[in-house]
A and B are shown apart, each in its own frame.
Chain A
């Protein structure tokens, strides 16, 4: 009977970046229950200011190596918009394909390497390599496929090279695309097996629910990943340029990452939020995965974010295959992809869905294409408040039935379920401090 708790998970493992979970309770009453963010501030926005347009994305993609493609995409979308650049259909397809590849890579990495050990009762992926070698090999194979997609298209996944405002600086060779297509065909069974593996451990996810506000991008024509309008499950739909209407910020002392709020005190972004807002637009493969995993919208169990990730991995896989078919048919040439950028003064907002959720870059340029003001909103930053609220609801619910160790483990798992990318959450935006 754990009437008193003193949990202090220092430098939480198996997440990106540094965070501590701190829970204090006495006599069954929770006094403190927060995720402390102890990452060093990196003050990216101030570094962006003064950079020329062609350097903004190469700086901001370094906010996070895990969702580097998403950061680049948000950044170049902002620059595209600021300069009013037209994108060729081929460049658009290439960009989307890169986003799908990143979703696939990130979700696979997260589900297999960071979350699965909990489900399999292993301390980390390393013992899994010997206890469940086929699972680890499959994970590596899928991860490699996604990585290789980026390598063929833009040089690399971590800090992509040829993905720039207005187009691409490199023409992916047809040979590479054809090779990729074959590799994707070979990987279909691995995605199916992933769905099966996870459906086998569904009972390992605690059944906990807390009603929440889900915010994500939406589009009429597809399950929005690359761009779209903002939708809140509680407050309707707005243009991406008006994001500040939904995303209000405040500093909190226990976190170098700012917290956000909208209708409620906190809201959620990420795979589960996207699923809740967009599940009707999943492709067949995604639908099949959701069915096999029994995931239905709206779902308010944050632990099932991992399950939503698997559904999205399947969806992204299928979309990637479609993009590849288009690109192979399109016969890429330098004329079709080369960016033709003429800088001009203006503001642009790039809103995209990083694997961990909504990501926004907002830049203002002067007439020479030098950035004068920048604002980035990072998904994990948005989720932090929601994580605190989840923990604060969860702990009292179980405080009498579970031991301190069990609770600690559950909370770690909860935080991991959000797939927080703490390093990227820690360089927040400029807001009006009135």
Chain B
């Protein structure tokens, strides 16, 4: 039998991650940690808000994590990672100077240029602020392109609030409206208490036909907030969410993230509410 094996020179494995160094790391909460990465090959990366990376720790595995920095062509990227299992726990043990493997960007993301001239409503719940932040920062960096910008953010307790410095910055800006609420306050908390839908009462009614909403958070929150958005008259096609599914390959092959005939890793994770409705199993 012939022993020859073929190794096509052009075959590059889409599973091989690029090495990236942690250049900044911060504990946001007990469970959530913030990282900024730079690629070791110095090639940088270009991505759209809403896209994600497969973060790899050899020997443990991979986990899909949204990029939370603003979109475009950049040298670095940021993520906020919640320790939820093996890979994410292992990532939490890493610090500045350590390297991880990154594959991506993956997923569809959303080109915000297409929304030029529209009003933007961001609704983020919990860790959903991570992917949402990429949209928010992208919008704020290109502030002149958009109409009104409104940011609603809800978290369980004041201790769970992420990106404190961003929140302060957004609060201080006068070209956007920023409201935050917590489910349960503590002694020092003077802000809103209550679920995120209560914030809808506090904002001016948007120009419904001309508003794009980004609703990103846990499935339960999504259901209730979509209701609010629809009640305000927003169009199904203009309400966007990010779906979470189990993922292994990120290449539309392994089948884990499949919802009916879409692969979340390729066709998503950003879907309009119109699409989510069609998927039925979406939420």
User: CB–CB under 8 A between A and B in the complex?
Assistant: no
